Amino acid sequence: MELIKNLEWRYAVKKYSDESVSEDKIDRIVEAINLTASSCGLQPYRLFVITNPELRQRLGEGSFNAQIHASSHLLVFAGLNEITNEYITDYVEMMEQQRNLEKGGLKILEDTLIDYFSPQTPQQNTIWSDKQAYIGLGTALIAAAELKVDATPMEGFDPKLFDEVLGLSGKGLHASVIMSLGYRDADNDYLASVQKVRLPIGEFSTKIN
């Protein structure tokens, strides 16, 4: 299975080279994220792809993760602050259009989602959208590995700084998790040549028949 080989190859890169990732590969990774699973299919987060070096330098201030600026691209997964009735209605209308259904053809789904999300607090919405963003992060890591693009998922950043610099609050968003993309500097990354360490499958997983 080629996927297993790709996952054995990948690791969280600590040092990146100056080589840039082609926009074609970035576009394919972004498309994979867009196609990934999300609860209720609502995609309650947005993705920002940042290459601007000055901007990434600013975003990395105060963080121990130099990969924020010392890589080719930075992906910012930004969750929705609220799951509003308007968002649900607009999204369901898009579903109807893409599936060539009559307007109102998914009214039952729309009403069900509104009934579920309306009582939720903003804090509950935030937690839920963050969880969905992490599903996208997982897909991004797999897609990058398939393309032999190195990646580093990161929580070690200042969310408030990201929200301010990227103007996320004004967009109804907040920074959930980030990931750098690039190519490893094998000569200067101490993790590049070490053995990947994982629990034995028998200890990690349990089959219940």
170-185 pLDDT tens trace: 999 999 999 999 999 9
Average pLDDT, the chain: 96
Does a structural domain hold residue 192?
A: yes
Largest CA distance in the chain: 59
For residue 163, is it within any domain? yes
Q: Which domain holds residue 23?
A: 2-83+120-204
Residue 100 lies in a domain: no
pLDDT in tens, 106-157: 999 999 999 999 999 999 999 999 999 999 999 999 999 999 999 999 999 9
| pLDDT over 90 (residue 95) | yes
Tokens of 37: 């699973």
State the first-to-last Cα distance of the chain, in angstroms, to the nearest integer.
25
Q: How confident is the model at residue 17 (pLDDT cuts 50, 70, 90)?
A: very high
Q: How many domains does the chain have?
A: 1
* Residue 112 is assigned to a structural domain of this protein: no
Asked whether residue 106 is domain-assigned, the answer is no
Cα 25 off chain centre by: 16
**What pLDDT shows up at residue 88?**
97
Q: Is a pLDDT exceeding 90 seen at residue 67?
A: yes
The CB-side HSE value for 209 (13 A sphere, CA atoms) comes to 0
What is the rounded average pLDDT of the residues 67-91?
A: 97
- Supply the pTM of this predicted model: 0.96
- Give yes or no for a contact between 21 and 149, defined as CB atoms under 8 angstroms apart: yes
Domain-embedded: residue 103: no
Q: What pLDDT sits at residue 105?
A: 95
**Residue 102, domain member (yes or no):** no
- Token pair, residue 209, equals 């028949």
- DSSP string covering 132-148, please? HHHHHHHHHHHHHHHTT
Instruction: Over range 161-168, report the average pLDDT.
Output: 98
What pLDDT score was predicted for residue 71? 97
Do residues 190 and 14 make contact, with C-beta atoms less than 8 angstroms apart?
yes
> Is 173 part of any domain?
yes
Cβ atoms < 10 Å from Cβ of 68 = 25
Nearest CA to 63 out of 204, 206, 161, 150 is that of 161
The CATH number given to whatever domain includes residue 182 is 3.40.109.10
